[in-house]
Amino acid sequence: MRILTAVALLVLMASMSIPVNAQEVAETGNSDTEPASKDVESGTNAGDSDRRTAEKVFQKLLTGATLVGNFTIDKDGPVDPTKLLKPDRYELATVNKVKDDFWLFVYVHKGVPIPLTMKVLWAGKTPVLTLDEFTIAGMGTYSARLMFHGDRYAGTWQHGATGGLMFGKIETAEYKQKKATLPAKKVVPPEDAKPAAEDEK
């Protein structure tokens, strides 16, 4: 009887352990390893690692960069295409993440650095500067959506009742440094641009 009781207990214990082991395998895919989506060393999701990499690229892209492009102003009536685009330029000293979605942009306006803490949201690996009724002292209140992709930027802006589009190229600190070391290009006038008096000689 004691032998039968012992065997019965062993069978009962074995049957009770099966669902637990099955659940472990179902949750992890393998009872001996961590899920593939986890970074085993840091304990973070692979997506978090991708975001950190994208943030470092964004910081490097804009630190010391200049946004050079154009903006437009929306009009209700017909617009002369030759007067549609207006030149635009933004100098950035540093760009650093503060916390969560907030970044500190040090914008240089007429030689004066202006620190601005602004929100950056992400569309995958693409950063989008996001302003909603954001007030800059002495300049006004703005709303905007500005996307950065490669060495270009594009988006929309709104200042009170006035708004439009803005877009252009990002001149990185590295690009500006290389540009500064290149020899100045000589401007050679075309042959037909010589003064008339010289032709008469």
pLDDT band at 6 (very low <50, low <70, confident <90, very high): very low
Kindly report, residue by residue over 98-119, the tens digit of the pLDDT: 999 999 999 999 999 999 999 9
pTM (2 decimals)? Answer: 0.68
Other residues' Cβ atoms within 10 Å of the Cβ of residue 148: 21
Per-residue confidence (pLDDT) for residue 192, from 0 to 100: 64
Other residues' Cβ atoms within 10 Å of the Cβ of residue 145: 15
Q: 157: closest CA among 93, 69, 94, 98?
A: 69
And the tokens for 46?
Answer: 């692979």
Domains of the chain, earliest start first: 46-181 (2.40.128)
Residue 50 pLDDT more than 70?
A: yes
Q: Is 179 helix (H, G, I), strand (E, B) or coil?
A: helix
